[in-house]
Amino acid sequence: MYSSKFTTKDMIWHNTGRLMDGMMYHPVDVKSWQEFDKRYPEFAKEPRNVRLGLAVDGFNPFGKFNNNYSIWPVILTTYNTPPWICMKEFSFMVTLPIPGPRSPAKDIDVYLRPLVDELKMLWAEGVQTRDASTNTVFNMSAMLLWTINDFPARSSMSGWSDQGYLASTLFYEPSTRTRLSFESAMKRLGGEVLTTENAREFSSAAKGKHLKDSIRTVEGYSDIIVMRHFESGAARRAAMTANIPVINAGDGPGQHPSQALLDVYTIEREIGKMYGIKVALVGDLANGRTVRSLAYLLAKYNDVKIYFVSPEVVKMKEDIKEYLTLKGVEWEESADLKEVASKCDVVYQTRIQKEHFGERSDLYEEAHGKYIIDRDVLGVMQKHAIVMHPLPRLNEITVDVDGDPRAAYFRQAKNGLYIRMALLKLLLVGW
């Protein structure tokens, strides 16, 4: 790296040669690089210190001749150099080829141990290095900034693999986002999925089979059950029956715990804190299990204030209000969405759920469309504030809001994948 004056110039390009016009051309322009520099200023002040990326994945070197063989090269590249160099083949350092015939699986930490020890030494102590361009010696440190893997390889690298595990998604209500999120999470961890959607109509539930019997049957096929049910408390009953973990993916108008986890993660990621924030819960608060679970979880943080903004017929139920009061959480009901939105860090919109009104279409029409987030509402919101929504939406957020950087709901949905991967890993494999 520093034995030639030509490569030395490339190694400090991130510090001396890049454009600084606010555009992203190179990893040095991204937030994580800059945050690292703030956290470790001693490392950052020496531009010759090395920032590395590590990639590992398996491939079959014999092509079609042997489909059962897999070799895993472990490759390092340096991000100090310009973008037209750092990702070129001649910049790759093959530090270790893990031999086949099978993937290293849980033994990968054994193979990586020497490399990890060297990287720890380079971070903690550094190594004396001669700089050919100045003919001087300096203490070069190195750090591993990123790993570059697809999800199956990441599972092996991190020890998060659920390979060999089988999840059953047992949904007694229709679902697209939650069900696909859990199924994608399981597959990205290396596991497999048995799935049923709308089991209420198409499974033994339609034949009058008891929930306990269904759970006892399904647990014989899988290692974990992800269940959505139309009755509040059904997930708890299923968990008391099963001998394997049961994840509540929504139980009627009751709770939606994994949604609350991803909502809190999204708020922390977008706003940068959970303490001292103001959150507006808007829409169908009586039937919306997402807002109920989020309110419960927000009660665990200090100095949080919650505003409830909803039509009269779908106001937040008393049990949530009493719980928040018991926990010392300040809350307030309001009919003025704009006024509340101007004060809040988070505006959490929900749809009015027609399916819960039965034959009272008049009440649905009264509530539907009363509170809509549009450009006018965005106009009074603070610049750092965000709009969230558990999806799907109807017309309660207009499509022209989607392009605003404060519209966080699609990022929120993507975060669900990561939270559910963590949840599945925790329940199946542990820390």
Structure tokens that stand for 138 in this block: 């300096």
Structure tokens that stand for 247 in this block: 């994840």
pLDDT tens-digit map of 38-89: 999 999 999 999 999 888 877 777 766 556 677 888 889 899 898 888 888 8
Q: Between 54 and 164, where is the model more confident?
A: 54
Res 207: pLDDT: 41
Res 105: pLDDT: 65
Distance in angstroms (rounded) separating the CA atoms of residues 134 and 136: 5
Place of tokens 């720890």: 120
Distance in angstroms (rounded) separating the CA atoms of residues 373 and 386: 12
pLDDT tens-digit map of 253-292: 888 999 999 999 999 999 989 999 999 999 889 888 899 9
Return the closest-CA partner of residue 36 out of 154, 146, 161: 146
Res 182: pLDDT: 93
Residues 83, 87, 90, 93: is their CA dihedral positive or negative?
positive
pLDDT tens-digit map of 288-330: 889 999 999 999 999 999 999 998 888 999 999 999 999 999 9
Distance in angstroms (rounded) separating the CA atoms of residues 14 and 20: 10
> Which CA distances in Å does 104 have to 101, 113, 159, 165, 188?
9, 13, 11, 18, 17
pLDDT tens-digit map of 91-112: 888 888 888 777 676 677 788 8
> Which CA distances in Å does 244 have to 165, 215, 222, 232?
12, 10, 8, 21
List, in order of start, the domains of the chain with CATH numbers: 5-158 (no CATH), 166-252 (3.40.50.1370), 257-415 (3.40.50.1370)
Q: Catalytic residue numbers?
A: 177-178, 207, 228, 256
Structure tokens that stand for 309 in this block: 């903004």
pLDDT band at 150 (very low <50, low <70, confident <90, very high): low
CB 339 within 8 A of CB 377: no
Q: What is the mean pLDDT of residues 171-189?
A: 88
Distance in angstroms (rounded) separating the CA atoms of residues 207 and 6: 76
- Mean pLDDT over all residues of the chain? 86
Global pTM reads 0.67
Distance in angstroms (rounded) separating the CA atoms of residues 79 and 33: 10
Query: 43: which residues sit within 8 A by CB, 6+ positions away?
Result: 36, 37, 49, 141, 143
Res 199: pLDDT: 60
Read off the DSSP letter of residue 317.
P
Res 209: pLDDT: 55
Residues 281, 283, 415, 227: is their CA dihedral positive or negative?
positive
Distance in angstroms (rounded) separating the CA atoms of residues 298 and 293: 9
